Amino acid sequence: MEQGYFDEGALIAVLTTQPLDRCLDYKAPEGGCHLGAFVEVPLGPRKVMGVVWGPGEGGYDPSKVRGVIRVLDAAPMRDEMHQFLRRAADYTLTPLPAMLRLATRSPGLGDPPGMRTVYRLGDSEPERMTDARAKVLAVLREYGGLAFTLSELAESAGVTSSVVKGLVKQGAVLEQASPRDTPYPLLDPDLPGLTLTEDQAAGAAMLAEAVAGGTYGTTMLRGVTGSGKTEVYLEAVAACLRAGRQALVLLPEIALTAEFLTRVQARFGAQPAEWHSGVTMTERRRCWRMVGEGGAQLVVGARSALFLPFRDLGLIVVDEEHDTSYKQEDGVLYNARDMSVLRASLCSAQVVLASATPSLETWANVQAGKYRRLDLTARFGVAVMPEMRAIDMRAEELPGGKWVSPTLRDAVRARLALGEQSLLFLNRRGYAPITLCRACGHQIGCDHCDARMVEHRFQKRLVCHQCGETKPMPLTCPSCEAEDRMSPVGPGVERLAEEATALFPDARIAVLSSDLYGSARALKAHIESIAKGEADIIVGTQLVAKGHNFPLLTLVGVIDSDLGLQGSDLRAAERTFQLMRQVAGRAGRAERPGTAMLQTFQPEHPVIRAILAGDEDRFWAAEASERQAAGVPPYGRMAGIILSSPNVQEVFDVASEMARRDGPLRAVNAQLYGPAPAPIARIRGRHRVRLLVKADKGVALQAALTQWVAQFRLPASLRLSIDIDPQSFL
Ligand code: ADP
Ligand code: ZN
């Protein structure tokens, strides 16, 4: 038997995506199968998909072991991926079937490649030439041998599809069947890039050399927004392509992909493969297959792209690495940034963690000598970091229900007079966070969650930001039935837009909030038009903080700088610092210098002062020593345990029992806190209770947690989830 190959009839262990706690034994099919092969196996009366995970365990009556039905038409899982799934499962305490589901999220994974109808240039001329026909032939000639689908061809030529069909009848255009999953166009790393500044060139050379070395390593790439981080890491991608290996660029937000695709096109002459929730099923399938077969050199995607079956991954870039969306908060609780490092270490790849405001975790790894550090110090061109100023709200005169201070208002007016853009930033979606009855004080909450419902005036509905439930805005109070007394309390981005319209009646105002666009494409178009200057004032949420370029923007007004500092989250200071710096970084990207104004009621707060001073290293050092003193991440380990059940008594009983029998945790000196109701004590009708485990850095926490949890028999109605390195404490 050759290494990793099972002859027909050999006992093999198959891991399926079914929620079982172990692999199942089967017999290898006719012709045998490879280790890692994707197979279809019988499970009870059903057929399910699985992967050949290793030799069978045995111990059953051999005559009862069933055979593999068929080997699927997909490249076998490579050993590196197998190791990655195992290690990621161990780290996140996730059952392997759930990990395998992440790695097989391709529609029609095992189906043979389908065919589709395509159109190419034929040899004969049409009998009668019309303008429309000439256009079609011109498009086909222009693109040489390239095949088009019917709609692509008709659209590119600006004609109806019947024109194309007419040409087919005449033999001037050929209609052919062609395999569906085709390789992506080749990227050319040797096209001339931009001329880099000295700083950028040095950084690019260092990354390129690391990639060419073909070993594992992680580099923090830090530089203010606009310093050219993207340009620099594209050179690392170029080095990776030259080495014949594949590269992956992770972005935190789909809306950022469009801009990135344009830059890849400009640098490498073609577009990369895309993997995120906005791509069609056909493209998803193509991407998954081509990544595995080597027909995709570069993938740009969301965090789940990390689980694609790369054949030879040489570089992972995590852009905006501090972004919280890299942590998946439901299902498998993993952090794509951390898992990138794991995957890269298993396949000898380089990782680039790029950010203007890196996470404290990354900074600590640099301090500890585990990651290299690369700083881009200047913004590209003449643009400099904006001037940062606080507006002390205690000294401003503002009527109730208004949020733009006179100082900020005057600053916006000055920009309007100059024909420059301003941004009013408020990190709150919707119209108002609270809807209250003025007669009885009743607040409208969600029926399924312990959360208030947020009015969304554009949609004319109340929305629960926890579970997504919506209901119409009531005219009478649901509690005291008073009429017309329901009123909004507090600001949301929609309400702020209303105020801006009243304050600046002649200005063109655009609202940027993730919930206002039906599709990523509509959002992208909107962002592009704003960047070109089709708005004077942008009213936006967190969405605008994430890497978009607004070259005409010179003023950023932060409506509520104190918002993130409330609450008990251990990362509150870090988050506020990052968000404020990111938002401020939107201003003054081109020739004109920018100003950022922070409305705050506590200008002396250390975080606000650090933001104003712009001294990042000092902020980090201070934050690091506080966390070190408290023994919390990244200087200690944490795991959050959430128990939930429709039955409130049951969930507290189980949680108390778990807290009592904490022997395995005490054995490693870990401390357990709780149980306590989770900050959102009910979601979708399930009551939630939290336990928190804290341990020293060197402790084998996962093993201790596994032992601890294994002591309990949990009722079927109760769900337990363990969140290693929790980001969110809700
Ligand atoms: P970051 O990723 O750090 O925000 P980018 O790479 O997006 O920075 O660069 C900001 C802008 O400056 C982009 O439009 C980019 O094309 C431009 N830019 C950066 N470096 C150069 C350069 N060396 N030559 C020309 N344009 C540059
Ligand atoms: Zn709800």
Instruction: For 649-672, write each residue's pLDDT tens digit.
Output: 999 999 999 999 999 999 999 999
Query: Which ligand minimizes its atom distance to the CA of 259?
Result: 1
Determine the residue of 380, 382, 586 to mutate for testing ligand 1's pocket, defined as the one with the most ligand atoms within 8 A of the Cβ atom.
380
**pLDDT surpassing 70 at residue 379:** no
Token reading at 632? 């919390």
Q: Which two tokens mark 481?
A: 């039935």
Residue 658 three-state SS: helix
For Cα atoms 516, 522, 524, give the angle at the middle one, nearest 5 degrees.
Answer: 105
Q: How far is CA 496 from CA 129, 546, 692, in A?
A: 58, 20, 38
For ligand 2, the distance from its centroid to the CA atom of residue 92, given in whole angstroms, is: 27
Residue 500 pLDDT greater than 90, yes or no = yes
Q: Give distance in angstroms: CA of 678 to centre of ligand 2.
A: 15
> Nearest CA to 357 among 386, 390, 326, 319?
319
Average pLDDT value over all residues in the chain: 88
Residue of the nearest CA to atom 18 in ligand 1? 228
Report pLDDT digits (tens) over 158-188. Answer: 899 999 999 999 889 988 887 778 889 999 9
**Using 50, 70 and 90 to split pLDDT, how confident is the model at 451?**
confident
pLDDT 10s digits, 413-431: 999 999 999 999 988 888 9
State the alpha helices, DSSP H only, in 214-335: 229-242, 257-268, 281-293
With a 6 A CB cut-off, is 226 part of the ligand 1 pocket? Answer: yes
**Rounded-to-integer distance, Cα 91 and Cα 335, Å:** 11
Give yes or no for a contact between 458 and 432, defined as CB atoms under 8 angstroms apart: no
The structure's pTM equals: 0.82
Q: How far is CA 718 from the centre of its chain?
A: 29
- Regarding the beta carbon of 585 and ligand 1, being less than 6 Å apart is answered no
Nearest residue (by CA) to ligand 1, atom 15, is 228
Decide whether any atom of ligand 1 lies within 6 Å of the 228 Cβ: yes
Does any ligand 1 atom lie closer than 6 A to the CB of residue 229? yes
Instruction: State the pLDDT at residue 538.
Output: 92
d(CA 382, CA 565) in angstroms, rounded, equals 33
The answer to whether residue 383 scores a pLDDT higher than 60 is no
Read off the pLDDT of each residue in 370-385 and give the average, rounded to a whole number.
77
Between CA 584 and CA 593 the distance in angstroms is: 12
Q: Is the pLDDT of residue 546 over 80?
A: no
pLDDT at 567: 59
* pLDDT of 144 higher than 70: no
Closest C-alpha to ligand 1, atom 23? 196
Residue 587 or 371, more confident: 371
Distance 434 CA to ligand 2 centre (A): 14
Minimum-distance ligand 1 atom for the alpha carbon of 225: 4
Q: How many CA atoms lie within 13 A of 571 on its CB side?
A: 18
Distance 446 CA to ligand 2 centre (A): 5
549 compared with 95, residue with greater pLDDT: 95
Residue 71 pLDDT greater than 80, yes or no = yes
- Please give the number of the atom of ligand 1 that sits closest to the Cα of 200: 23
Which pLDDT score, from 0 to 100, does residue 730 have? 66
Q: Is 203 in the pocket of ligand 1 (CB under 6 A)?
A: no
With a 6 Å cutoff on the Cβ, whether 227 touches ligand 1 is yes
Distance from Cα 589 to the centre of ligand 1, integer Å: 10
Residue 384: both structure tokens together: 């400099």
Does the pLDDT of residue 2 top 60, yes or no?
A: no
- 308 has pLDDT over 60: yes
Atom of ligand 1 nearest to the CA of 232: 6
Question: What separation in Å is there between the alpha carbon of 24 and the centre of ligand 2?
Answer: 39
Q: Is ligand 1 within 6 A of the CB of residue 355?
A: no
Structural element, H or E, at residue 413: helix 406-418
User: Of the ligands numbered here, which is closest to the C-alpha atom of 590?
Assistant: 1
User: Quick one: tokens of 670?
Assistant: 């870990």
| pLDDT surpasses 90 at 725 | no
Residue 646 alpha carbon to ligand 2 centre in Å: 14
Tens digit of pLDDT for each residue in 685-711? 899 998 989 999 889 999 999 999 999
Is the pLDDT assigned to residue 382 strictly greater than 60? no
pLDDT value, residue 3: 67
Measure 321 CA to ligand 2 centroid, in angstroms: 30
The first and second tokens of residue 664, run together, are 């395995």
pLDDT band at 344; cut points 50, 70, 90: very high
State the average pLDDT over residues 231-253.
96
Which H, E and C letters describe 469-498, residue by residue?
Answer: CEEECCCECCCCCCECCEEEECCCHHHHHH
Instruction: Name the nearest CA neighbour of 154 among 168, 135, 129, 170.
Output: 135
pLDDT for 521 equals: 67
* Cα-to-centroid distance, 231 and ligand 1 (Å): 6
Ligand nearest to the Cα of 382, by number? 1
Q: Which domains does the chain have, with CATH numbers?
A: 5-77 (3.40.1440.60), 115-179 (1.10.10.10), 198-376 (3.40.50.300), 387-428+491-623 (3.40.50.300), 636-724 (3.30.70.600)
Output the pLDDT for position 1. Answer: 41
Written as one letter, the residue type at 389 is R
- Average pLDDT for 480-489: 88
Q: Which of 231, 264, 265 to mutate to test the pocket of ligand 1 (most atoms within 8 A of CB)?
A: 231
Q: Which of 123-127, 260-264, 616-620 is predicted most confidently?
A: 260-264
Amino acid at 114: G
Q: What is the pLDDT, as a whole number, of residue 141?
A: 83
How far apart are the C-alpha atoms of 146 and 48, rounded to whole Å?
38
The confidence band for 146, taking pLDDT boundaries of 50, 70 and 90, is: low
Alpha carbon of 456 to ligand 2 centroid (Å): 15
CB atoms within 10 A of CB 425: 29
Name residues whose C-beta falls within 8 Å of residue 163's C-beta, 6 or more positions apart in sequence.
130, 132, 133, 136, 154, 157
The percent of residues above 90 in pLDDT, for the chain, comes to 51
Range 453-481 burial, b when 16+ CB lie within 10 A, else e: bbbbbebebbbbbbbebeeebeeebeeee
Give yes or no for residue 402 having a pLDDT over 90.
yes
- Which residue type, as a one-letter code, is found at position 249? V
What average pLDDT score do residues 270-297 get?
88
CA dihedral sign of residues 169, 172, 177, 181: negative
